[in-house]
Amino acid sequence: MTTDAFAVVSPSITWDRLSGPGTDATVAEEFPNTAALAARVSTSSNPEGIYVDRTLPGLILEVDPNGGTTETMPIIVDTSTGPKTLTVPQAEVLRTNKPHSLFDKWTDDQGNTVAQRQAITLRQGEYSPRRVMVVHAQWRAITPRISTPKTHVASNGDTTFDVTATDASKLTSGLNHEWDCSNGTCTVTGESVVGLQPNPGAQYSLTASSTNVTDPNTHNTVSGGSVTQTGYLPYAKVEFNANGGTGAPTGFTAFADSTSGHTVTAISTSSIPTKGPHDVFTGWAENAAASNPDATYNPGKTLAGTTIAGKSTTLYAIWHTVAAPSISASRNGDNTVSLTATSKPMAMGDKIHYCIQLTAGGTQSCWDDTVGAGTWDGNTTHQSTHIIPQADIPRKGHYDLSATLTTSDPWRTAGSVVTSATTETSVLIQGLYAHALPFTGGPRWRMFLLLLAIGIMLIATKWLHDQKQRTAISSRDWRRH
């Protein structure tokens, strides 16, 4: 044991015990007191460690194996007696090791590289109190990696793949195909991993593994690892269900080639089912009870192979019944009539045709309204209103009303339409003379009544005046006689 490992044994000094032989140790415990330390050193010819006073100047180099293992203890350099040199140890000497990893380098706390066997020169008395420097082991994993395979499907259903394995000695498939990757990397192109027409849901399995290798820095034998990657084969079946209609298209088998973006054209626009006269086909969905179709499966749309790969899918036709409009007529305060058709259009451009006709042989008048921009989905209410002048409602009576909604069929041939059921109803509309009370008529009606009353009052006044005159004349004539 060297004397510079100690200061004067004194109760005021804190001593650390660095366990293990020589100067290679990790700080394990603080020795309880200087008396016990002095007793241990004086009575033992082969002490269990080096006891260091950390208040002395110098440098302690500690090693962090960073997830691995090492046999080293701190390296202690005391600069109290003169300049010293500390040499950064080699990983090989320290038997530094980590499973499935090769030693790369040492770095300090800031991430800077600390070269192996680097000499660090210290002046006398430098670093007081003693400074602790930690070097961290950096590793390079040798567990193999597999790139995401690109899969291909031939017209006969054979599936092949392209894949690269890195840090591997071999690559195997689930069907016991094996490829040599002895140089650390192998690229496999166009190799078949399945036979003809695999069942939907079939998976591929690729495993890359590496043999034991010798670490060039530590000369340790490092065990090789392995990694397995699985995935669905790009194969699927799609069936169609008219969901109460007729004419569903024939199902198909989809082969999705990942090199072309996992895409496959799936559904023809020429095979659209039909249902009732007022039903519109809106699209397909995997849920037969869905309120709205899934745009993923719109007719003519190119499907993503990853959407359907590895499963059988049944697509159900989604229908919307075009609801018949309601229609009403109401008399306004100015004796005009408002004719209103309320409908639920499917899209901009839908048309509402609504009419009124006097039941007893009158002329029918009709109007058309085109639906403008808006969020129309067959569930939102739209109103079409026409104001009919008083002159066109010549008298009170029962009038026949009717309304029909016509919508385009989005997935059939251009110009194809579906109409709703026509709503027909009859309503009683009061004519001009139907109301005797002023508060039930319009302004012109009230003015007429007012003038009529004034006229009657004037006639009555004149009649009374004439009657008085006649009475007076008669009285004079009677007195004369």
**Contact predicate 354/391, CB 8 Å:** no
**Contact predicate 418/279, CB 8 Å:** yes
Same domain (yes/no): 312, 337: no
- Cα separation, 399 vs 128, in Å, equals 111
Contacts (Cβ under 8 Å, ≥6 apart) of 233: 151, 159, 194, 198, 202, 203, 204, 309, 310
Same domain (yes/no): 256, 358: no
Residue 416 confidence (pLDDT) above 80:
no
Strand 302-304 and strand 279-285: the pairing is unpaired
Residue 438 confidence (pLDDT) above 70:
no
Same domain (yes/no): 33, 137: yes
pLDDT at 455: 82
Residue 17: domain span:
3-141
H or E element in which residue 84 lies: strand 84-87
- Top mean pLDDT of 59-73, 74-88, 283-297, 440-454 is at 283-297
Mean local confidence (pLDDT), 468-472: 73
Out of 39-43, 207-211, 288-292, least confident range: 39-43
Residue 345 confidence (pLDDT) above 70:
yes
pLDDT at 367: 92
pLDDT in tens, 305-340: 556 656 678 889 999 999 899 999 988 888 889 999
pTM above 0.85, yes or no: no
**Contact predicate 61/78, CB 8 Å:** no
In the three-class reduction of DSSP (H, G, I as helix; E, B as strand; rest coil), residue 466 is classed as helix
Total tally of structural domains belonging to the chain:
5
Last residue of a domain, one of 110, 141, 172: 141
**Contact predicate 351/405, CB 8 Å:** yes
Same domain (yes/no): 359, 244: no
pLDDT at 82: 87
Out of 156-160, 347-351, 392-396, least confident range: 156-160
- Cα separation, 3 vs 388, in Å, equals 120
Contacts (Cβ under 8 Å, ≥6 apart) of 379: 344
Same domain (yes/no): 23, 130: yes
In the three-class reduction of DSSP (H, G, I as helix; E, B as strand; rest coil), residue 58 is classed as strand
Q: Across all residues in the chain, what is the average pLDDT?
A: 75
Last residue of a domain, one of 93, 113, 141: 141
Last residue of a domain, one of 267, 294, 320: 320
Residue 243 confidence (pLDDT) above 90:
yes
Same domain (yes/no): 38, 117: yes
Mean local confidence (pLDDT), 3-29: 34
Same domain (yes/no): 7, 132: yes
Mean local confidence (pLDDT), 109-115: 90
pLDDT in tens, 60-85: 888 899 998 887 667 778 888 888 88
Same domain (yes/no): 16, 46: yes
Same domain (yes/no): 267, 208: no
